[in-house]
Amino acid sequence: MFGEKSEFMGKRIMSIQSLAGAWEFRQAGTEEWLPASVPGGVHTDLLALRRIPDPFIGDNERRVQWVAERDWEYRCTFEVAPRLLDEERVFLVCDGLDTLADVTLNGQPVGHAENAFRHYRWEVAKLLVESENELRVFFSSPVAYVRAWIRNGKRYRWS
């Protein structure tokens, strides 16, 4: 979602361009892009496409564990609202990027997330173009991340 401030009765207010809706996703390293819904997630998108069984039925949770062991990539293309291109500051706002995510806009790095329970806001005014923009979110496998972390001798200290 993008935000910008505008005038209303002498006061600056923010307007929003939502990027929720139809996106595409794929398992990293593959060529096939599949339809996705944002907000949403890999499991719900794979379930909607009948690529995995419902993880809440029987022992299906075991059958879908591979999903968390893979990296995933989401993308969307959009035209930015013309009024936003004239603004000095425009922010990309993301909520609930779960869990390890790298965000790019038009091929340029925008930000990194490591906590699904945080709100992220990145300045992107200089990266937006008048024509089609492409936003990508690369989700690294949290399982692979933790395995590597432990392999390197790290341990979490509970306080």
Indicate the pLDDT class of residue 86, thresholds 50, 70 and 90. confident
Its pTM stands at: 0.87
Inter-residue contact 1 to 20 (CB < 8 Å): yes
* Beta-carbon contacts of residue 118 (< 8 Å; ≥ 6 apart): 97
* Beta-carbon contacts of residue 28 (< 8 Å; ≥ 6 apart): 70, 71, 72, 73, 138
pLDDT tens per residue across span 3-62: 555 555 565 667 789 999 999 999 999 999 999 999 999 999 999 999 999 999 999 999
In order of start, what are the domains of the chain with their CATH numbers? 2-151 (2.60.120.260)
Give, in degrees to the nearest 5, the angle at Cα 118 between 116 and 119. 120
- What average pLDDT score do residues 85-100 get? 91
User: Per the structure block, which two tokens stand in for 123?
Assistant: 């300045």
- What average pLDDT score do residues 80-106 get? 92
Alpha carbon separation from 16 to 23, 35, 111, 123, 141 (Å, rounded) = 18, 24, 20, 14, 31
